[in-house]
Amino acid sequence: MLIKNNRISIDDIIDECKNFYFAGQETTSSLLGWTIFLLATNKEWQEKARKEVAESFGQKVPNADGLSSLKIMNMILDESLRLYPPVPFIKRKVELTLPPKMLIYISPLAVQHDHKIWGEHVHVFKPDRFAEGVVKATNNNPVAFLPFGYGPQTCLGLNFAMIEAKISLSMILQRYMFTTSPTYVH
């Protein structure tokens, strides 16, 4: 953002908001696509989510109060992010032990599929592993769950993306049931 004379113009703010919104479009749509796929192949979780949405909103438009009570939805989204993180790698510049300016690529996919952390059913869709939160799901190693990065460089859009995904998925579940084609091969 270019600041002129120590002032931020309304156009600058609008541009920053647009940037923030559009930057997350691809990753949020990836999250929703994989979540719908996982729910289509796991009907019991699709029905649990639909029931929770119906209890929270009925056929009304989702609201902030109801979104915060969607425990099953949170578990489903976290498990979708674990199995299919929308960002294939996280790049960091190392200035400490390794040579300066060295770039390190961290693969959330590899970490989130480590059977030592996630157990023998690491490749199975099991949203209930998040029933008691990320720390319990990762066997007290929350750094093993990286769909939005971790620490001071965690994605700024984390909360926005999760709210957007919850609203979208709630509205989809209110209106549709989905299944995979009998000829689909994963």
For tokens 């390794």, the residue is: 98
**Count of alpha carbons within 13 angstroms of residue 145, beta-carbon side:** 21
Do residues 139 and 16 lie in contact, with contact meaning Cβ atoms separated by under 8 Å?
no
Residue 155 CB burial class (10 angstroms; 0-12, 13-18, ≥19): middle
Residue 103 pairs with which residues in a beta bridge?
A: 93
127, with CB counted inside 10 A (0-12, 13-18, 19+), is buried
Q: Is 155 annotated as a binding residue?
A: yes
CB 62 within 8 A of CB 166: yes
- Which position has the token pair 């953002």? 1
Binding residues for heme: 155
Binding residues: 155
